[in-house]
Amino acid sequence: MPKIVHAADFHLDSAFGGLPTEKARERRRESRELADRLGSRYSVRIKTNLGLEEFEVEDIEKELPAVLRACREENAAIKDIQVDRGSLERHFVRITKGE
């Protein structure tokens, strides 16, 4: 059975005041967890003289330097680097897949 996630259902700044106290507490906890999950992955695009490489990392401080060292070892001249947190759509797809 597929899961459908509608982005408008995520009100990350809501106090959930219309819900019973326990349900509101649970929704706030889930919202915090979602925000933590969304912020833990980064999309990285590195353009070199050898081509474009795209990947995702969990620990940018640890993984990006290793990628840059690998580029240097391959004599790949870096032309451009883009790092972002990815789209909300991509994050929601991962969540529904249970990743």
User: Taking the model in full, what pTM does it have?
Assistant: 0.51
pLDDT of residue 16: 74
pLDDT of residue 27: 80
Q: What is the pLDDT along the chain (99 residues), one digit of tens a residue?
A: 454 544 445 555 566 777 888 988 888 888 777 766 665 678 889 999 999 998 888 888 888 899 889 999 999 999 999 888 766 677 667 777 776
**DSSP characters over the chain:** ------GGG--TT---TTS-HHHHHHHHHHHHHHHHHHTT-EEEEEEETTEEEEEEES-HHHHHHHHHHHHHHTT--EEEEEEE---HHHHHHHHHHT-
pLDDT of residue 6: 46
pLDDT of residue 50: 94
CB 69 within 8 A of CB 36: no
